[in-house]
Amino acid sequence: MRAGAHALPSALGAGRVAPLPRRRSRPRPGGVVPAPSPAARITRAVKGSAGAANANAPPKPERVDRLLSRLGYCTRAEAKRWVSAGRVVANGERVSRHDAKVAPVTTGEVLIDGEVPEAPDRLVAIMRKPLDVVCSHDPREGPSVYDLLPERWRRRNPSVEAIGRLDKDTSGLLLFTDDGDLSHRLTSPRKKVWKTYEVALDADVPEDAAEIFAAGALLLRGEKRPCAPARLTVDAGRRRATLEITEGRFHQVRRMMASVGCVVTRLERSRFGNLDLGALEPGDVRRLDEKELERVFEGAEEG
């Protein structure tokens, strides 16, 4: 989570807070502040402000019943039975109390059913979304992408949510996480994370479509501000194209193509940043490691 600014209470009166003194930065020779390297920007984006500050800090101990509930193993009420059955081990010894505190890490100090806790810090996953499923928890809307997640992931708290949405008629790369800050960084237009779509169309793409999209002046119907610059590559047959965008407006790809006289007949998201689908089949889902997550932010430039 984001590291918030703190203020110290003062004797100035009830309800008043004295702000912390601002620290002045030391000027560098020549007055030039070097820009962070691309690798540094990616690391900062992946970890976020709070993650970067606590990257090397040891995990904080938490109650066993809260840990089991947070990671989706069981409810807090059921945790007593898990502990009594010897299913939780810390430092080689069975935990005897459900309110005992342990520090979950991935190196084996804590074991649940003989295994290290799954993604104790945060869970990030990739799915190849099939057609005809929705990104919704509402069963009235039909089969959902959440039905394709492992049961334990569906019980995690905070809940595992899709990062952005793909509509029922769109397939392809969909990310999930229980980290709200990460989800925001990946979906905010200010972060300029590129999403790539493979598009099939019912008509030839006009010759000037790529120029129109790249100009950053396209105003879609009902919108008050134009779309951010986008990259369009059209194949030789003019009815298939690759579109890269940094935003996620409602049905944006379909509306952009409609603005140049083309109806989308097939749409798949193939990349998120530099992360692609790999060998995933429709409906497949798996966890991402931190190195794979870094690929999502490659090429992004905050603006």
Cite the active site residues: 167
User: Which pair of structure tokens corresponds to residue 302?
Assistant: 């905050």
> Distances from the Cα of 183 to the Cαs of 178, 258, 280, in angstroms?
8, 29, 22
Phi, psi (deg, nearest 5) at residue 168: -60, -35
If one counts every other C-beta atom within 10 angstroms of the C-beta of residue 123, the result is 21
The angle at the Cα of 145, spanning 139 to 147, to the nearest 5 degrees, equals 65
Cβ-contact 90, 110 below 8 angstroms? yes
Which parts of the chain fold into alpha helices (H)? 38-53, 64-70, 79-84, 151-154, 180-187, 209-214, 252-259, 290-297
| Amino acid (one-letter) located at 64 | V
